[in-house]
Amino acid sequence: MVMHTVSSYRFESLEETISQLSKEDCQIIAGGTDIMVQHKSPRGVPAKFEKPIVFIDHLKELKKIYQNNQDIHIGACCSYSELLKHPLIPKILKVAIQQIAAPAIRNRGTLGGNICNASPAGDTLPLLYIYNAKIKLRSSKGERLIEIKDFIQGPRKVKISKDEILTEIILPEVQEEGTHFVFEKVANRRADAIAKISFAGSLRLDEGRIIDARFAFGAVGPTVVRFMDIEQTIVGEAFPLDNMVIDRVVAGFDRKINPIDDHRSTAVYRKTVALNLLRYFLKKRAFKEGHRIN
Amino acid sequence: MIKFKLNGKEVETSAPPTLRLIDLLRDEFDLIGTKEGCGDGECGACSVMVNNLVQNSCLIPIGAIECADILTIDGYSKTELFKILSDCYSEAGAVQCGFCIPGMVMASAALLSENPNPTEEEIREGISGNLCRCTGYNMIVDAISLAAKKGDGIW
Amino acid sequence: MLNKDISTSVKKKEHDGKVSGQLPYISDVKLDTLLYGVLYRSPVAYGKVRSIQLPPLPAGYEKIGAEHIPGNNFVKILKEDQPIFANEWVNYIGEPMFMLVGPELDILYQLLEQVEVDIEEHQAIFTLKEAIEQKDQAGIFASHEFGEDLDVIQSIEKNAHQVIVEEYETGYQEHVYLEPQGMLGIYKQDEILVEGSMQCLYYVKNALVSALACEDDEVRVIQSPTGGGFGGKEDFPSMMACHVAVAAKVVKKPVMLLFDRAEDMEVTTKRHPAKFKYRTALDKQGNILCMSVELFLDSGANAGLSPVVLQRALLNSAGVYKIPHFHAKGYALKTNTVPNGAFRGFGAPQSFAAIESHMGHISKKANRDSIEYKRNYMVKQGDPTITNGKFKDPVLLEDMIMDLMKVTDYAKKKAEYRSFNQKSNRYKKGIGASFFLHGCGFTGSGERDHIKATVKLAKTENDGVQIKISNADIGQGVLTTMSKIVAKELDLPYEDISFPYPDTKVVPDSGPTVASRTTMIVGKLLERAAKKLKEQWQSGVAQEVIEHYVHEEMIPWNEEKFSGDAYPAYAWGINFIEVEVDTLTGNVRVEKVYGSFDIGKAIDERIVKGQIDGGLVQGIAYGFMEKMTSKSGRIQQKSISDYGPPTAMDVVHIESKLFDNPYAGGPYGAKGVGELPLTGGAPAVQAAIEDALQISFYQIPVTPEYIIESLMKKAGEALD
């Protein structure tokens, strides 16, 4: 009986890391909070990995947060706790991050990891979808940008080549002023929980009319879902929205969302609650500051 | 060879980098204070401090702790701050079966070092990753609150 | 420290070791030549084993199976139906078939994956519903019927204004003790020593004597510091002890069996799911004319402790009420699912959830406030119990209720919440109450006929005193409370009393650590032993005193007829709980929790508060949070977060109060406290949710899914 151990790398720089990725198909580990659970063995037995490991959570190049014009750039290996403390991170994203697991996980888990783990219940994902977040990937051949909705393909499936690494998440044209956001995570308890359904929405108003509307739902399908065709139908509408418009939008989502039954909840519940939260947001007569975490 | 600081001492290990920190602590360094309640990062019994931040040692591959400063309950229990927490845990009746307690103490310590005067809500959030099935948490919340007062100025 | 008032709290005996993490639990123990065991578990729910094929085992690795058991291949509990290693028939998914033993866990798990078993599958019974439908063919582990004649009930129903028929269901509850199960078997020349996480040393020991077919002094059991039990380490550890003991005897080396969390959640015992069917006849004014209940427990694949759990469920089926013409019938039924066992409350939480729910629903039908309605039926001192025993001691329920109604400002709050709910679309608030009791100690004459507890106190030449009992500290504070009782009686400092973790070589059988009996029964024996020691005290001389259980005079218990005094004493409690329900998501936020309890006298206020807080939080979570389901014989929630026990953020401070009501049969008047506080949580939270939403619920947990479904139904009805 042979115990095989895989080789592992921990380079001092991103350059060296990328160079290694161009030579060998590796398993990248950032915070490891998801990957260590997925690869865990029964008690007393080390985690099992098929590919060589590359540790990246210490790379300073991946921990920067900065603004470029209106775009906010977030290094892939920023931990949730680091994001919570950073002034450039939008408030509503902090609301979502604050609801991820518990402090110990937030001290270790990273935004890049949450994206690459590509769970339909990933807590930051609905907001990243409505931000039209762009994912920056780098390899020895260069860099490319990809929209988050194209990057995430399904549960645990992302569009990344073996030689690429996710370096940055870019939130383009972040305009907190004048835009109203909502994020609701629905779970079986108030901490250390996986979302049964989550909802993110934003409405941007100008002189009593909606000029931009975005809605995303988590845990109702294989990926977070957004339907831009429906969103477009309320652009130009007067705010507060007319009940007929609200009914139409909700009915639109009703036709498109198809959640499943599993050990955490039921399809009926997920759909009903998703539509309830959407309707509640659309029915708002006015927006005020502050957010209640449910 | 992975080198890091463990409870104030420079140490090294030749164990495989995918080994979990909890296993390294318990099996190689015989530090039994860090307990395993789930292995999924969902109970907090294995909480340790990594560079002064509370983390779940069951989720950390040791390859990731090169050069890190690791503090476990075994080391922390030799400090003055620990004595305050220990006394307050006793005074508040916060310890029942005890299995969650070492991790709970590490989470308490991390919370207080970052926020020496936490509100009740902040305390609850600070220990929200530490499951306790015996106490219903309230006496632990009281203990931390008491420790904040007793250790006023030194956290 | 000399104790003035016994209730004044002291530092717990084992505090320093626990808080520093240095007190070794079984998984912290290291030995040279230690081998690990891993269990091969049945992949099918019901079937006949045709063959087992093992991969070639490397040197130092062994298969331990039924063929190695020198004695009986069953775990001695009540019936001989729980195999140590299932080698002929398997009755549930996860049932241990054999164990592989060796030095490296990694290799053991690899070997386990290569095992091939051939099992002839038979039609299994997966749900309680199927078990009820097929109960005559499928298997009844136990049944009892008692109370008013059915002819009388029928004629009352015939003349009644209306007969309310209701069904009610309760789900699984998983213990989630923080320390997963663990057991170590050590081979010695002249004995097999078993150490581990457990509540009942002599249950384990008796199981070992039966399995190993050995003499009493050839096995020895030592309790390790135990990271929580709640009943989960009452019956289950006996099986693991047999596994490691048989293995250790074969390989002549120490063998450790440690469960990881997923394994612990999938295969260890849980609280019995239950179903209740009520028929209650009312007159025009809504007064109860008669009530009959049929209850069914899902026992899982083995009888285990189910027959006794059924007894307690039945004994509590009328709650704290004196119901005219009451009739009850109950069954413990077999299903091909993981065996259910002891869990804090032992059948009572199911029954109290059901009767409190039913009484609440009747009061709504009668258009009366539920508290006022229930108070009409509340038992009083001198009243008969439902088994024609007698509530001979004072019953303080009425005082407790009056007090909490004042403290919570109940009437005003009700009005406030009504007007809040009219204005608030999304969030609705409600308040609910529950009233309950817990019979302390074993049912009926169990203490006298089965347990026959014995305690010892040993005094050294240095005048130090050691407590020798088999009761286990599992976090509830036994080391401390027992030491306090002895210290107080002997006028010695509490620190002078030693109480090491029990070892059957040293301690007599003072009974298991169950049924809220340790403080009341064993504590009383220690009080008497200490009195005796004090009388005989000779400084500088080693002395030992022994005390045996003495049965209190009561109306004799007849298990066949289900009549007489089921318990020597009762502890009582009431809860008021306030909630806010999010009608968009069905999520419930518990906002206020009140509890008042009569546990006789607190032996240590802080320890009692810990029991109240912890028990109540478990009970509340049982009512609306913790959801475990089984699908085709498999437990679906295998991780803590999927099951969802409360975190610190799900809990609020609990305002609790004790009502002193000393019981002469307990030490310093103490009665049991362990189980009582759990019992009222679920019914109070259900009542509060019902109050907030003005909807009746018929099962617990009242999950967000159930709430949303009920709200949709209500909206649909409003449209019709």
CB atoms B135 and C177 under 8 Å: no
Reported as a pLDDT band with limits 50, 70 and 90, residue B36 is very high
Q: Which residues on adjacent β-strands are paired with residue C166?
A: C278
C680 touches chain B (CB under 8 A): no
- Give the model's pLDDT for residue C136: 86
Note the pLDDT tens digit of each residue in B67-88.
999 999 999 999 999 999 999 9
Reported as a pLDDT band with limits 50, 70 and 90, residue A11 is very high
CB atoms B107 and A104 under 8 Å: yes
Cα four-point dihedral sign C558, C559, C564, C570 = positive
Q: Residue A140 contacts by C-beta under 8 Å, 6 or more apart in sequence?
A: A18, A19, A21, A22, A163
Annotated domain spans of chain C: 15-23+446-548, 31-122+175-267, 366-442+564-719
CATH of segment(s) C31-122+175-267: 3.30.365.10
C631 touches chain B (CB under 8 A): no
**Interface residues of chain B, partner chain A, Cβ below 8 Å:** 16-20, 23, 36, 39-42, 44, 47, 50, 53-56, 58-61, 63-64, 66, 107, 110-111, 125-126, 128-131
Pairing of strands C219-223, C192-196: parallel
**Predicted confidence (pLDDT) at residue B117 exceeds the cutoff of 90:** yes
In chain C, what are the helix, strand and coil shares in percent, each to the nearest 5? 35, 25, 40
| Integer angstrom CA distances of residue C484 from C1, C53, C520, C530, C544 | 10, 56, 14, 11, 19
How near does any CA of chain A get to the CA of B19, in Å? 5
CB atoms C650 and A191 under 8 Å: yes
Q: What strand order describes the sheet that includes C654-658?
A: C427-439, C570-582, C588-598, C654-658
- Is 0.80 topped by the overall pTM? yes
- Give the model's pLDDT for residue C2: 52
A104 touches chain C (CB under 8 A): no
CB atoms C179 and B35 under 8 Å: yes
Write down all domains in chain A, each with its CATH number in brackets: 8-171 (3.30.465.10), 179-282 (3.30.390.50)
CA A179/CA A211 separation, integer angstroms: 10
* CB contact at 8 A, C701 and C639: no
Pick the CATH number of C15-23+446-548 from 3.40.50.11540, 3.50.50.60, 3.30.70.270, 3.30.365.10: 3.30.365.10
Residues B70, B84, single domain; the answer is no
The residue in chain A having the minimum alpha-carbon distance to the alpha carbon of residue C642 is: A264
Q: Is C213 left (phi over 0), alpha (psi -120 to 50) or beta?
A: left
Angle (CA) A145 A147 A153, round 5°: 115
- Give the model's pLDDT for residue A4: 57
The answer for A 25-64 residues in CB contact with C (under 8 A) is 41-46
Note the pLDDT tens digit of each residue in A97-136.
999 999 999 999 999 999 999 999 999 999 999 999 999 9
Residues B109, B70, single domain; the answer is no
The residue in chain B having the minimum alpha-carbon distance to the alpha carbon of residue A55 is: B64
CA C489/CA C534 separation, integer angstroms: 8
Of C167, C274, C172, give the one whose Cα is nearest residue C703.
Answer: C172
CA A245/CA A53 separation, integer angstroms: 52
Query: Which chain B residues contact residue C653 at CB under 8 A?
Result: 120, 138, 141
Burial bucket for residue C29 (CB in 10 Å: 0-12, 13-18, 19+): middle
**Predicted confidence (pLDDT) at residue A294 exceeds the cutoff of 70:** no
CB atoms A105 and B63 under 8 Å: no
Note the pLDDT tens digit of each residue in C641-672.
999 999 999 999 999 999 999 999 999 999 99
**Predicted confidence (pLDDT) at residue A2 exceeds the cutoff of 60:** no
The structure tokens 């030194």 sit at B154
The answer to whether residue B155 sits within a structural domain is no
How near does any CA of chain A get to the CA of B27, in Å? 10
**For a pLDDT cut of 70, what percent of chain A falls above it?**
96
Amino acid making up residue C501: Y
Residues B40, B65, single domain; the answer is yes
Q: Which chains touch A (3 or more CB pairs under 8 A)?
A: B, C
Q: Which of B60, B76, B92 is the last residue of a domain?
A: B76
| DSSP assignment string, C419-462 | HHHHH-SSEEEEEEEEEEEEE-SSSTTHIIIII--EEEEEE-TT
The residue in chain B having the minimum alpha-carbon distance to the alpha carbon of residue C477 is: B96
Note the pLDDT tens digit of each residue in C216-262.
999 999 999 999 999 999 999 999 999 999 999 999 999 999 999 99
- How many structural domains comprise chain B? 2
Say whether C366-442+564-719 and C15-23+446-548 share the same fold.
yes
Q: Tell me, what CATH number does B39's domain have?
A: 3.10.20.30
Q: Report, as an integer, the average pLDDT of A229-233.
A: 97
The secondary structure element, H or E, covering residue C598 is: strand C588-598
pLDDT along chain C (720 residues), means of 10: 79 98 98 97 98 98 98 92 96 98 97 98 97 90 97 98 98 98 97 98 98 97 98 98 98 98 98 98 97 98 97 98 98 98 98 98 95 98 97 98 98 97 97 97 90 97 97 98 98 97 98 96 98 98 97 91 95 98 98 98 97 98 98 97 98 98 97 98 98 98 98 90
- Give the model's pLDDT for residue A291: 45
CA C718/CA C720 separation, integer angstroms: 5
Provide the 8-state DSSP code for A207: T
Look up the domain containing B33 and give its range: 2-76
Omega within 30 of 0 (cis) for the link into C349? no
The answer to whether residue B16 sits within a structural domain is yes
Residues B54, B84, single domain; the answer is no
Of B4, B62, B14, B3, give the one whose Cα is nearest residue A57.
Answer: B62
Q: Which of B76, B108, B141 is the last residue of a domain?
A: B76
C32 touches chain B (CB under 8 A): no
CA A285/CA B98 separation, integer angstroms: 51
- Give the model's pLDDT for residue A293: 43
CB atoms B64 and A44 under 8 Å: no
Q: Which chains touch C (3 or more CB pairs under 8 A)?
A: A, B
**For a pLDDT cut of 90, what percent of chain C falls above it?**
96
Q: Report, as an integer, the average pLDDT of A20-43.
A: 96
CA C692/CA C2 separation, integer angstroms: 50
**What's CA C292's distance to the chain center, in Å?**
25
**What's CA C690's distance to the chain center, in Å?**
26
The secondary structure element, H or E, covering residue B86 is: helix B80-92
CA A86/CA A171 separation, integer angstroms: 15
| Integer angstrom CA distances of residue C166 from C64, C629, C699 | 50, 23, 11
Question: In this structure, what token pair is assigned to residue C28?
Answer: 């912290």
Q: Residue A6 contacts by C-beta under 8 Å, 6 or more apart in sequence?
A: A49, A50, A51, A52, A53, B18
Question: In this structure, what token pair is assigned to residue C101?
Answer: 């033993």
Pick from C105, C110, C646: which is nearest to A189 by CB? Answer: C646
Residues B8, B65, single domain; the answer is yes
* CB contact at 8 A, A55 and A69: no
Residues B85, B67, single domain; the answer is no
In chain A, what are the helix, strand and coil shares in percent, each to the nearest 5? 30, 25, 45
C105 touches chain A (CB under 8 A): yes
- Give the model's pLDDT for residue A289: 52
Amino acid making up residue C376: N
Pick from C25, C617, C649: which is nearest to B99 by CB? Answer: C25
CA C320/CA C330 separation, integer angstroms: 19
Q: Which of B25, B52, B76 is the last residue of a domain?
A: B76
CA C619/CA A135 separation, integer angstroms: 46
CB atoms B98 and C639 under 8 Å: no
CB atoms C648 and B95 under 8 Å: no
* CB contact at 8 A, C347 and C272: yes
Residues B26, B67, single domain; the answer is yes
CATH architecture of C366-442+564-719: 2-Layer Sandwich (3.30)
* Complex ipTM: 0.98
C107 touches chain A (CB under 8 A): yes
**What's CA C374's distance to the chain center, in Å?**
26
Residues B136, B121, single domain; the answer is yes
Question: In this structure, what token pair is assigned to residue C451?
Answer: 């347990």
CB atoms A269 and C650 under 8 Å: no
CB atoms A264 and C642 under 8 Å: yes
Q: Tell me, what CATH number does B91's domain have?
A: 1.10.150.120
- Give the model's pLDDT for residue C647: 98
C591 touches chain B (CB under 8 A): no
How near does any CA of chain A get to the CA of B78, in Å? 22
**Predicted confidence (pLDDT) at residue B106 exceeds the cutoff of 70:** yes
Provide the 8-state DSSP code for A106: H
| DSSP assignment string, C88-149 | SEE-STT-EEEEEEES-HHHHHHHHHT-EEEEEE-----SHHHHHHTHHHH-EEEEEEEES-
